[in-house]
Chain A
Amino acid sequence: DTEVTQTPKHLVMGMTNKKSLKCEQHMGHRAMYWYKQKAKKPPELMFVYSYEKLSINESVPSRFSPECPNSSLLNLHLHALQPEDSALYLCASSQDPGPRTEAFFGQGTRLTVV
């Protein structure tokens, strides 16, 4: 099983809304990631959780707030987003945060901010 599950698949939210993206994996992976992908661009790393602790925050604005409740779950809380935050948000996991491991991606959440 190499599945990373993301919900919802699509989300439309207003600039004053609060919403959350969810990600789940049951592969026993100890590193989980959030990436953001704009149209015709490569995925860009946002956050890395290593053994349920935030290890990397790539200068992401505070309107994005990650949370790792346990080793299988990763959330991304959204508040007061801007239209330019509309993108495909991808969750990934890898066995550990070491450099020689593959990352497996979920299907993504297509977010539209109106």
Chain B
Amino acid sequence: DQQVKQNSPSLSVQEGRISILNCDYTNSMFDYFLWYKKYPAEGPTFLISISSIKDKNEDGRFTVFLNKSAKHLSLHIVPSQPGDSAVYFCAARGGGADGLTFGKGTHLIIQP
């Protein structure tokens, strides 16, 4: 049973526009959420995180929004750049578990 779900396997966005990646979770004990970016054959690179006590966190072009009641979070990238093309993983931790639980990832493709 997947506790972290990314329902869009891929997303194509034009350069300069906003990219919105979505993530849903089922475990109400999760209280910290992270987004990672991954290129093929490399390890995930940490992008941004958000604690459950907040509903928004911003870092440069990246903003993460958390809707606790809906158990939903999203990552906004604006403006999108060609170098943003990668697989984006949503991850969660909490509930006594020390490790991260990952979603299946969304492959973001930025088109020129």
Contacts and interface: CB of A to CB of B under 8 A. Distances in A.
B99 A48 contact: yes
Contact of A100 (B31, B43, B95, B104): B31
Interface of chain B, main secondary structure: strand
Interface in B41-71: 41-46, 49, 51
B94 A99 contact: yes
A105 B43 contact: yes
Given A42-B105, A43-B44, A104-B46, A99 B93 contact: yes
A55 B98 contact: yes
Contact of B100 (A41, A45, A107, A110): A45
A88 interface: yes
Contacts of B44: 43, 90, 105
A97 interface: yes
28 contacts: A31-B98, A33-B99, A33-B100, A41-B104, A42-B89, A42-B102, A42-B103, A42-B104, A43-B89, A43-B100, A45-B100, A55-B98, A58-B99, A92-B100, A99-B31, A99-B93, A99-B95, A100-B51, A102-B34, A103-B46, A104-B46, A105-B45, A105-B46, A106-B43, A107-B42, A107-B43, A108-B42, A110-B41
